[in-house]
Structure 1
Amino acid sequence: MPSRSSGDTGPLLSGALDNAQIPHQSLCVISDSTSFSGLNIFKETLARGIRRGEETTLISILHPPEILLPSSTSSKINVIDLSNSINGHGEESTSIESIEEKILSTYTSGQIFIDALDILSEDYSASKVLTLVKSILSAIKKAKAPSRLILLLPPSSAIYHSLITPSFHSTLTLITPHSPPLVEHLSKSYLSPISSNPSPNLWMILENTTKRSSHQDMALKASSEKIEFDTCWTQSQGGPAAIVHVLVRKPTGGIKGISRSLEGLKFNVDDKQFRLVDLDQLVDLNPFSKPLTAGVTGGDKIINTHSELDLPFNLSLTDEQRNKRAQVPLPYAHEGEGASGDLIWEDEEETDDEEI
């Protein structure tokens, strides 16, 4: 699939995963949550870069490097394991300045992956971590393209909203995975169809859901049956899958320089890799519009009630409600009966003269 410009409408996820965006994006943030993690996308992006033979720097803070790295690796990978160096997370402790020195002293070009930047902000301070990110982005700017920084970061982090603002960095690729049942539930609840080029209403719903960290609560309501938090996407039918919301921001253009897309990502059991799939393979694109259902005798039955339509409000009346409504006396319903219907016209000029 060819890469697309951030100003185009259409698929954006393929270019983001393969680091083939036009124009180039040097900062990519993958949203993470306890109910539906972005770790799979983080690992898939890392694995694709390694398969392409790109120079890669992996900074492991929370997850052990062997969990993040694919089974087959190359000599172009520089692993900086900080899992035993962060205050409160290991036997040794170090300063944020020494961490910055360790990263920048070994970096020449390529992609930099950091798996848990929020832990650094908790153990040190948000301002120091933001300064660290700016130093890394400055080094990436000097390096040969397509070098970039990929961060796995929960929206609830204290530094998340500072990182994604245009004042911090003009360009941005923001990748937010959603549970397919959750997206279908939100679409049904707010009467917003699902499409690869989502409507502004659906954008707002998904962004507010992420901003308010309501994935956990909504995930439990997304199914009539009780479901547990599906961090690794294991409960999707047919294998791990996600509905991915991609936002790409160009350096200039304001709102016109922002592109969004909703795309399906599913694990392929045959080659053990994630593949982009059509949305209708994962969700019902129009879950609230089901006017017909198969009857007991095999014929189609028209759905009349809001419960059958699975809507949050009533759109129809039962026969008993119609009869009761017909018996309600309406005020002024018979006013004017018996009038002759003759109209009396009055000359406006004569009336004005009389009034004067």
Structure 2
Amino acid sequence: MPLLSSIINNPAGSKPHQPLIILQSSSAQTCIPVLRTLISNFRLDTQALLFCFLHRPSSLTNIDIPTVTAFDLTGRIPGYDDAWCDPQDEILARVRSAPPGALHVIIDSVDTLASDIGSTPKAYKLIQTLLGLITTRSEPSFLVLHLQPCPVLELLTQTSLSPTLVHLTAHSPAIIMHLSSAYSTPPPPAGPAEKFWSVFIPFSERTHESERLVYGPEGNGTSAGVWAGKDTREFVVEVLVRGGSRRGVERTVEGWRGDVPCDLCALESLKNLWYRRKAEEARPDPTQNVSFNLNLTPSQEKSRAQVPLPYAHEGKPVTTAGAILYDPDSADDIDDDDPDEDLDI
């Protein structure tokens, strides 16, 4: 089963248990469809607390599900709400008072929470405390954080907070197509993984590049994803799992179509990439089906490299700056006479 499907469909089945799940959006591509599907796949015998600072609860989950308790904090804005108070104590009190058993805590979004609090260290400390409360429960529980790139993100991905981590980042398919055409680095299996990641990671971290591809003259102008049908949008998800079954870091890039994960090859927006790859593989080799061999064996290549080049000045040091070295041809008339001496000037 692909890595993204296993995380979305059965997050509790990962070994070892991954209590921290980070879903990262950007102005170029939202990760909300992934968050919505993840919440809907929680087991019905588990409790979930959803704290919304950016999106309405109705846009993230079915509010009629009895196991999901949503807290709409989108209307509490510091400086605009006279009754605003720091939400940290309320969040901690709700988590501590939850009944025993599996408990999933979802925060949308951490960057908005940090902005409301007005302190990145305070936001990080709150997340650290919540993760401690989650990991001490007897049943597998999760802390799901949705956010956009912000100062607290770098702190949340450190091993000092959690040695295990699931980090899902949404990207526009335009990035994949751009890297394939401009840098000749298609994603695996169309190209080597090492070459792809060496270009993809630094490029995707430059958010202005992604925004230019989406909102520029040739972009689709929306962060919801590329239209694949009348009611279906699709995008790309970068999956990073730290401390999984291999006790290392697994990284892959997969597709998302509508409300479910899929293989990259299933994305309509990337179909030209695979057609181009197949055309290159089907291109005939000009060295095949000829009556003579155009290739050299290793011993022949070694012998050719040892042949001295017939340069008259090879090995002679040049002592004069700007000197011109010339080997005369057999037909050249080289002498010291004036070539124009027969002219009556």
User: What is the TM-score with the length of structure 2 in the denominator?
Assistant: 0.71
Residues 1:87 and 1:235: Cα distance change in structure 2 (over 3 Å)? same
Q: Does the CA-based 8 Å contact 2:15-2:245 persist in structure 1? A: no
Q: Does the CA-based 8 Å contact 1:62-1:116 persist in structure 2? A: yes
**Unpaired runs of 5+ in structure 2?**
285-311, 314-324, 331-345
Letter in 2 for 1:261: T
Residues 1:251 and 1:135: Cα distance change in structure 2 (over 3 Å)? farther
- Residue 78 of structure 2 corresponds to residue 84 of structure 1: no
Describe the SS at the equivalent of 1:44. Answer: helix
Of the candidates 195, 201, 213, which is equivalent to residue 218 of structure 1?
213
Letter in 2 for 1:281: A
Residues 1:336 and 1:278: Cα distance change in structure 2 (over 3 Å)? farther
Of the candidates 164, 179, 183, which is equivalent to residue 186 of structure 1?
179
Distance apart, 1:236 and its partner CA: 3.8
Partner of 2:57: 65
Q: Does the CA-based 8 Å contact 1:58-1:79 persist in structure 2? A: yes
Distance apart, 1:287 and its partner CA: 7.0
Deviations, residues 253-308 of structure 1 (Å, cap 9, x unaligned): 8xx700011111211xxxxxx2332212211445765767xxxxxxx999xxxxxx
Q: Quick one: distance in 2 between partners of 1:134 and 1:287? A: 47
Q: Show the 5 A alignment for 1:254-269.
A: 257-267=248-258
Distance apart, 1:30 and its partner CA: 0.8
Q: Does the CA-based 8 Å contact 2:185-2:199 persist in structure 1? A: no
Of the candidates 1, 4, 7, which is equivalent to residue 13 of structure 1?
4
Q: Does the CA-based 8 Å contact 1:170-1:251 persist in structure 2? A: no
Q: Show the 5 A alignment for 1:120-269.
A: 120-124=113-117, 125-155=119-149, 157-195=150-188, 199-213=193-207, 214-220=209-215, 226-233=218-225, 235-236=227-228, 239-250=232-243, 257-267=248-258
Q: Quick one: distance in 2 between partners of 1:24 and 1:279? A: 27
Distance apart, 1:244 and its partner CA: 1.1
Partner of 1:313: none
Describe the SS at the equivalent of 2:151. Answer: coil
Residues 1:208 and 1:288: Cα distance change in structure 2 (over 3 Å)? farther
Q: Does the CA-based 8 Å contact 2:176-2:186 persist in structure 1? A: no
Partner of 2:98: 107
Letter in 2 for 1:67: S
Q: Quick one: distance in 2 between partners of 1:252 and 1:217? A: 37
Residues 1:220 and 1:188: Cα distance change in structure 2 (over 3 Å)? farther
Deviations, residues 191-245 of structure 1 (Å, cap 9, x unaligned): 1122269712322333223322131013346xxx633432222534562111211
Deviations, residues 125-147 of structure 1 (Å, cap 9, x unaligned): 11111110011101111113321
**Unpaired runs of 5+ in structure 1?**
2-10, 268-273, 293-299, 303-330, 339-356
Q: Does the CA-based 8 Å contact 1:26-1:149 persist in structure 2? A: yes
Identity of aligned residues (%): 23
Deviations, residues 95-121 of structure 1 (Å, cap 9, x unaligned): 244234333233343211111111121
Describe the SS at the equivalent of 2:22. Answer: strand
Q: Quick one: distance in 1 between partners of 2:254 and 2:80? A: 36
What's the RMSD between the two structures over aligned residues? 3.3
Partner of 1:41: 34
Residues 1:104 and 1:275: Cα distance change in structure 2 (over 3 Å)? closer
Describe the SS at the equivalent of 1:49. Answer: coil
Letter in 2 for 1:250: G
Residues 1:55 and 1:177: Cα distance change in structure 2 (over 3 Å)? same
Q: Does the CA-based 8 Å contact 2:26-2:170 persist in structure 1? A: no
Partner of 2:46: 54
Letter in 1 for 2:210: H
User: What is the TM-score with the length of structure 1 in the denominator?
Assistant: 0.69
Deviations, residues 26-85 of structure 1 (Å, cap 9, x unaligned): 1111111111111111111111216x54321111111111121137x4211122222233
